[in-house]
Amino acid sequence: MSYRFVLLLGSLMAGFAPPQAFALPQAYVTNEKDNTLSVIDMTTFDVVETIEVGERPRGFILSADQSHAYICASDADRIQIMNLSTHSIVGDLPSGADPETIALHPNGTTIYTANEDDALLTVIDIPTAQVISQIDVGVEPEGLAVSHDGSMMVVTSETTNMVHWIDTKTHENIANSLVDARPRDAHFTRDDKYLWVSSEIGGTVSIFDTATKQKVKTLSFAIKGVYRDKIQPVGIVLMKDKPYAFVALGPANRIAVINTDTFEVENYILVGRRVWQLAFNQDQSLLLTTNGVSGDVSVINTHTLNVEQTVKVGRYPWGVAVKWK
């Protein structure tokens, strides 16, 4: 059954069912060990629903119009499609083996997923639910990022310790850049001039000039009372209108606050145990962190840098995204 037909059928069935009313904004959190998705009301910060999904859910993104979500069900070897009006699974996309992370092209119709076990990047056309291409990359690919102009995307490979630069038109790997040990996450700046990459075991964040593919800066971290090997950078987010980046530091249980003009670490925010991924709300006044070992989400006020809420979710929360429309 095609993805298009499933969506059409779902729309028709919705016409005969009572409409669901979900207060917005809402945050969605994948719980890796529970095979569930926690839904958080961002007004009350209560978990209002827990949804069963595929095995070992990790990567999670919203569609361009926020009507659907795409969930990497890693151990089920598929990407699930969720209708966010009904919170029901309406179809699957072919993903290859063990999809871990996922990224959406600005065109809204192309998805990229990293196949960790097969050292592949899979490119999927959403409307036809067809694999467009599979690209050989390094060993254990994980982090994905697509430039805002859509012309390039990158994949980080944990074991090869590289960033692979992919031309999104030709689907060719056009360059490889070395980074420190076990690169995890990657993010382009708003102007696409720079790429930020976290290295978990290296304990650093590398910043690349996207024109030359050369590293221009390496950031390291030091936290009083925390052993160096516990400082493991993972998730990265960059603010749109302010010169700040936030980096999750894993078992250091901290978020680093970095001035993107000076590249200075200005603060560390204490959160839950083994902080992993990050997401902003719409106006970026709040930052959500998934804390795997403590099984909760920290909600940080980005103006005061205080943790305002701690929300208990499922076991080993991994991915997070906020829907506001």
- CA distance linking residue 196 with residue 192, whole number of Å: 10
Tell me the C-alpha distance between 107 and 149, whole Å. Answer: 10
Whether the predicted pLDDT of 116 surpasses 60: yes
Residue 24 lies in a domain: yes
- Residue 5 predicted with pLDDT over 50: no
Q: How many CB atoms lie within 10 A of CB 201?
A: 16
* pLDDT(113) > 70: yes
Buried b (16+ CB within 10 A) or exposed e, 205-235: bbbbebeebebeeebebebeebeeeebbbbb
Would 30 be classed as within a structural domain? yes
Q: Do 216 and 171 touch, CB atoms closer than 8 A? A: no
Given a cut of 90, whether residue 181 has pLDDT beyond it is: yes
Number of domains in the chain: 1
Arithmetic mean of pLDDT, 16-23: 54
Residue 175 has pLDDT above 80, yes or no: yes
Is residue 309 a part of any domain in this protein? no
pLDDT: is 5 or 225 the higher one?
225
The pLDDT score that the predictor gives to residue 6 is 46
Specify whether the CB–CB gap between 249 and 233 falls below 8 A.
yes
Instruction: Provide the strand spans (E) within 53-140.
Output: 57-62, 68-73, 78-83, 88-93, 99-104, 110-115, 120-125, 130-136
| Region 90-107 average pLDDT | 95
Q: What is the mean pLDDT of the chain?
A: 94
Percent above pLDDT 90 for the chain: 92
Angle at 37 between CA 11 and CA 184, to 5 degrees: 115
In a domain, 163, yes or no: no
Binned at pLDDT 50, 70 and 90, residue 23 comes out as: confident
**Which range of residues forms the domain containing residue 88?**
1-136
Domain annotation covers residue 7: yes
Radius of gyration of the chain (CA): 19
**Residue 96 pLDDT:** 87
Q: What is the pLDDT of residue 22?
A: 74
Q: Poorest-confidence range of 14-23, 37-46, 260-269? A: 14-23
- Residue 243 resides in a domain: no
Q: Return the CATH number at 15.
A: 2.130.10.10
- Copy the structure tokens of residue 179: 């980074």
Q: Does residue 46 belong to any structural domain of this protein?
A: yes
Taking residues 196-210, what's their average pLDDT? 99
Q: Is pLDDT of 3 > 90?
A: no
Please say whether the beta carbons of 182 and 156 come within 8 A: no
CB atoms within 10 A of CB 44: 11
The answer to whether position 82 is within a domain reads yes
